[in-house]
Amino acid sequence: MLKYIVRRLIQTIPVILGVTIMVFLLMHLIPGDPAQIIAGEAAPAHQVEQLRDRLGLNDPLPVQYVKYMGNLVKGDFGQSIRSKRPVLDEISVRFWTTVHIAIYSTAVSVLLGLIAGIVSAVRQYTVSDVVIMIVALFGLSMPNFWLGLMLIQYFSIELAWFPPSGWGTWKQAVLPILTLGTAGAAIIARMTRSSMLEVINQDYIRTARAKGVGEQVVIYKHALKNALIPVVTVVGLEFGALLSGTIITETVFAINGMGRLVMDAIRSRDFPVVQGIVLVFALLFVLVNLIVDVSYRYLNKRIDLN
């Protein structure tokens, strides 16, 4: 197991390197001059040129990238062009807000998705199954920003149950978590149903029932455990999707997380901040995938990770 984890961590190095190259190139392809944005539209050309030279923007792209990677190896993510603060300081202020949103939303997705998927599989082709699958289809079809706005309109403006924005109290957390967790719950429900139906029809399940084992034991101990492997894969992917989905949701609910930070950084062409946030997202996604792979071994002892 340890050898597998070390090997996977080593394999992440080219992935992270590729992410840094792609983000670096894409940021420089976006129209707009960060020096002009910082100096202002009315700034004279010589002042903008001096600012570009001071920020190192006049250097060739390969030189800029090598300097960036050299600092990154030392643990220096650079300095924000807009605020002049270290990028790590900018990220650390909002990092846990975004991670908490993603974790809570994933928990809601897993809870609702597993319950709905199990009920739908056990009661296949019944009214409950049809209703759950229709609701899941709607959950998959609704964009996050639209659902967030609808929740704000109904629960915040009309009923005044929850605040329309912010983060810090449990009431402020309800609507953003529901917004992000709905689509994930729909995907997990459909995957759980499909996986459970495949397992329920296996011979060992029929044998357990023939021996008089209780239905709940058959479903939750025998069937569900073996049906969880594809579901765990989906959960890992959904967590990564939720991290990126917070960009829109944080904007809708005015939450000061990394999503809003990266949007502000893109608008101001703040290259170091964007690169730092994307790198953090990539590292989190790689870590989640590693945890998912390791969890396979605990769900099924026959899986060899070495």
- Within the chain, residue ranges assigned H as helices are 2-29, 34-39, 45-55, 61-73, 87-122, 127-141, 144-151, 170-200, 203-210, 215-217, 224-252, 258-267, 271-299
Separation of alpha carbons 187 and 196, rounded Å: 14
Q: What is the pLDDT of residue 284?
A: 81
Q: Which amino acid is located at 32 in the chain?
A: G
Count of beta carbons in the 10 Å neighbourhood of residue 60? 8
Residue 300: the pLDDT is 60
Segment 22-48, tens digit of pLDDT:
877 777 776 666 666 666 666 677 776
Same domain, 142 and 223: yes
Residue 185 CA, distance from chain mean position: 14
Q: Which two tokens stand for residue 24?
A: 């670096």
Q: Burial code of 178-194, b = ≥16 C-beta within 10 A, e = fewer? A: bbbbbbbbbbbbbbbbb
Tell whether 111 is covered by a domain. Answer: yes
Among the residue ranges 68-82, 190-204, 210-224, the one predicted with the least confidence is 210-224
Domain hosting residue 184, numbered range: 91-299
pLDDT band at 215 (very low <50, low <70, confident <90, very high): low
Of 28 and 21, the structure prediction assigns the larger pLDDT to: 21
pLDDT(139) > 70: yes
Please indicate, yes or no, whether residues 255 and 116 belong to a single structural domain of this protein: yes
244-274 per-position pLDDT tens digit: 667 778 888 888 888 788 888 877 777 778 8
Same domain, 180 and 273: yes
Closest by CA position to 183, among listed 229, 142, 225: 142
Tally of domains in the chain = 2
29, 151: one domain: no
Residue 165 falls inside a structural domain? yes
Tens digit of pLDDT for each residue in 116-131?
888 888 787 888 888 8
In angstroms, the CA 50 to CA 77 distance is 23
67 and 136 inside one domain: no
Find the mean pLDDT for residues 2-15: 74
pLDDT, tens digit, 9 for 90 and up, residues 149-183: 888 988 888 888 888 887 878 888 888 888 888 87
How far apart (Å, rounded) are the C-alpha atoms in residues 220 and 193?
Answer: 13
Domain shared by 223 and 152, yes or no:
yes
Rounded to two decimals, the pTM is 0.76
State the pLDDT at residue 306.
57
Does residue 83 sit within a domain? no
Look at residue 305 and tell me if it is in a domain.
no
Residue 294 banded pLDDT, cuts 50, 70, 90: confident
Q: Please report where in the chains the tokens 């629960």 appear, as a residue.
A: 155
The pLDDT score that the predictor gives to residue 299 is: 62
Task: For residue 208, tell me if it sits in a domain.
Answer: yes
Domain-embedded: residue 20: yes
- Which span out of 31-35, 53-57, 81-85 was modeled with the highest average pLDDT? 81-85
Whether residue 297 is predicted with pLDDT greater than 70 in this model: the reply is no
Question: Do 69 and 113 fall within a single domain?
Answer: no
